[in-house]
Amino acid sequence: MGLSPQRMTVSTSGIVPGIEQFALSARGPAKLAISLNAPNDKIRNEVMPVNRKWAIEAVMDAVRKVKLRPRNGDFEYVLLGG
């Protein structure tokens, strides 16, 4: 697409096999954003069905395998009323 990899960030809701594949295929340090949207598995199960398959700890284990540039890993939250 003609875009510099240095200007791209891969964002995921926490699909562990995809994170692991990204870790293996990334050419050099990568930028990665993980949408957690909850501080624990109980709440995350309610707002993110993907958590029922890949809980926060599994996501964190997969993220630790990715070689990131300094300050190029983000954990994202969406705040919902109620």
pLDDT of the residue at 74: 75
pLDDT band, residue 82 (cuts 50/70/90): low
Alpha-carbon distance 30 to 25, whole Å? 10
pLDDT band, residue 39 (cuts 50/70/90): confident
The pTM assigned to this predicted structure is 0.77
Number of neighbouring beta carbons within 10 Å of residue 13: 17
Q: Is the predicted pLDDT of residue 41 greater than 90, yes or no?
A: yes
Q: Is the predicted pLDDT of residue 80 greater than 70, yes or no?
A: no
Cβ burial of 32 (10 Å; 0-12, 13-18, 19+) is buried
List the one residue out of 27, 33, 37 whose CA is nearest residue 5: 27
Alpha helices in the chain, H assignment, sequence order = 16-25, 41-47, 56-63
pLDDT per residue as tens digits for the range 42-77? 999 998 999 999 999 999 999 888 777 666 677 777
